[in-house]
Structure 1
């Protein structure tokens, strides 16, 4: 098997059932690598005090838990506190040293993840380090500037830096500094649940379709944080027909409800909170389009876009500068792209999707074709193992071949 004998230690921030794109990616990649023969372990913070729930928010001290997710060993480290989005985990240095002592070929860090960056900086000798750089620190400018030397220290030691798209590399000063180490590895998912929905998902689809009451059903999926563009979506609904279903939880939920009331659309918004995978798959199948109006480079990619594409659901996204958002779902091929923060343009795109004959059907076909070609989890895992081999010097790769491979993975032909 391709990964036979390879020992991989992933350092994530959290792990499902904690919600979020990075969390889902770590799980998908770890399990897919294990299926290819690698020995895989994950270290992360324990998001939950009692072992339940999906929220990242700190609600009190959590214990350390060790468990198996199929073939993947998962160690959830107890949190004592969370300060400026940095999780305080007293056992991290000891558990990390213990994991490394068991034998590790590749340490794969997923960032932003300040606690793990500091922990690795403190280890004098490390195996090959690979970093998936999902996002720069955008909004927390002071914290970002103070933390930059620690990032720089680790990135200079890393063997490879993985970006999720070429577009994000161009806009990241940190990645540009270490450009010779950068490779592009788009995030993939297990497509089957979306390509071939289960009986439970089909039942959920029927329920969501009934809730739409014959009109368009717009879907928005993700944590309710500043860069998701929640208020843009609510303002767009004023100028578009149908119902908006908002899937997710987060700090802007109450403000969002107040904004919906002020805009007079409260009765056309469903706050669904966290949905089970089956209910979400059903929602993707019932919806007219996914609204993805992100407004900052903190949104580097958007895995919910990939889930929508696999479901045959067109995406209405935004042209976030130097982000991969508009690369994941392509304008006029798998959805429509509008300017950042432009609620009227988002509403116009939604109306066009409803009113223009054949448009939604054409975009739906293109969506599933792109999902199959670019975002399958096994393709991602196989490519990640190739990049590990390159980093370890086990597979000499000429620069010309490497560049061509990166372009192919990123979809540029």
Structure 2
């Protein structure tokens, strides 16, 4: 979500929009930002190129919700500067509650990145607050049409729902820098081929254990890019499977190092196993790098729509390590298959997932939402029974 917001904000600003971002400060003073941050932080304002960013200080986390004392005052301050569109990205319980508490909001647009899948009790308790915000919203954006059918929340607001696929600045992947090319050579030289790459936070829905079990059935090595609560268990599982020396736990990588890793690889493995994974931007990055994707057929998720079976990669059943291994082996055994899929993947990335196209579409959806707001205001202002 964070990467998407940054990309969208920059692309909208490049088109002439004035964009401000309000987010949570997930770092202590002098430290880098991290999803795993659990401490206290201060509110600070900075500029990310042309985009003003207010990072809200965090005091604590209660039931997975951030305690942000400055949130409501900063929201009021931002709205007082004159805002045409308030674009909210969910799930985000803290922000939803704060917006519900405000008596007036400008035209609201919500991007629904994912349903709450695993935290069923918390999701049920939170649903009325989501419903209130989605009712106030003029447009609700899904990251793909494929996701809408499996979401009871999106179906309830179907007349408001529009699709806005997530886009990526493809330049670093299409035209790699000298540093990326150097990184490619380093990755190629660090072990025997083939190299498989997996990218993402190490959380339950990413399918890390499926990937490890598949690796035990095919040659090569697996580069795991990302950190998360399942890393320790993943390392133990790799040891049990006897593949410990064929797995590299890389943690976070710079964009140059990641671009080099994609280029050095045979394919991206994307074995996610739940609708918490609604899209998968790393699929787009790998595709733009000319690499096929091995993903999973998650029902009512955009994952198998982003990379298409037998066109830009191979799609296998959810949680099936044998099927993932078989798909990987196909890339090794069938002459020209990996090259063909990678070439089509690159073409699809350029045709469907450019960040500037996403930004243009988002601004047209904003205009549509504003027209809906104006029409609703006219209806409210018209005397009952008037033509």
TM range (shorter): over 0.9
- 1:359 matched to which residue of 2? 337
Aligned 1:165-176 pairs, distance under 5 A: 165-176=144-155
- The corresponding residue for 1:138 is 117
Alignment of 1:229-248 (within 5 A): 229-248=207-226
SS of 1:270's equivalent in the other structure is strand
2:231 aligned partner: 253
**Unaligned segments of structure 2, at least 5 residues:** 376-387
Post-superposition offset of 1:396 = 11
**Does structure 1 residue 204 correspond to structure 2 residue 215?**
no
Note the residue ranges of structure 1 that are not aligned, 5 or more in a row: 1-21, 398-413
Residue 23 of structure 1 pairs with residue 41 of structure 2: no
Distance 1:145 1:59 in 2: 25
Larger Rg: 2
- The answer as to whether partners of 1:49 and 1:59 remain within 8 angstroms in 2 is no
Residue 262 (structure 1) aligned to one of 236, 240, 255: 240
Q: Provide the C-alpha distance between the structure 2 equivalents of 1:211 and 1:150, rounded to a whole number of angstroms.
A: 50
Q: Deviations over 1:266-299 (max 9, x none)?
A: 0000000000111001101111000000000000
Aligned to 1:126: 105
CA distance, structure 1, for counterparts of residue 366 and residue 109 of structure 2: 8
Q: 1:293 aligns with which of 264, 271, 293?
A: 271
Equivalence for 1:309? 287
Looking at structure 2, the residues matched to 175 and 51 of structure 1 have their Cα atoms a distance apart, in angstroms, of 40
Q: CA deviation at 1:82?
A: 1.4
Deviation per residue, 1:117-155 (Å, 9 max, x gap):
001101111100000000000000000000000000000
Aligned-pair distance for 1:55? 1.9
CA RMSD in angstroms, aligned pairs only = 1.3
Could you tell me how far apart the structure 2 residues matched to 1:343 and 1:210 are? Answer: 27
Task: State the aligned residue count.
Answer: 375
Displacement, 1:318?
Answer: 0.2
Cα distance in 2 between the residues matched to 1:83 and 1:207? 43
- TM (norm. structure 2) is 0.95
In 1: Cα distance, 2:335 partner to 2:31 partner:
46
Secondary structure of the residue aligned to 1:59 is coil
Matched, 1:342 2:342: no
Cα deviation, residue 395, structure 1: 12
Corresponding residue to 1:379 among 344, 350, 357:
357
The offset of 1:394, in angstroms, is: 8.5
Q: Does 1:47 align with 2:23?
A: no
Change over 3 Å in CA distance of 1:54–1:288 after alignment to 2: farther
Residue 149 (1) aligns with residue 128 (2): yes
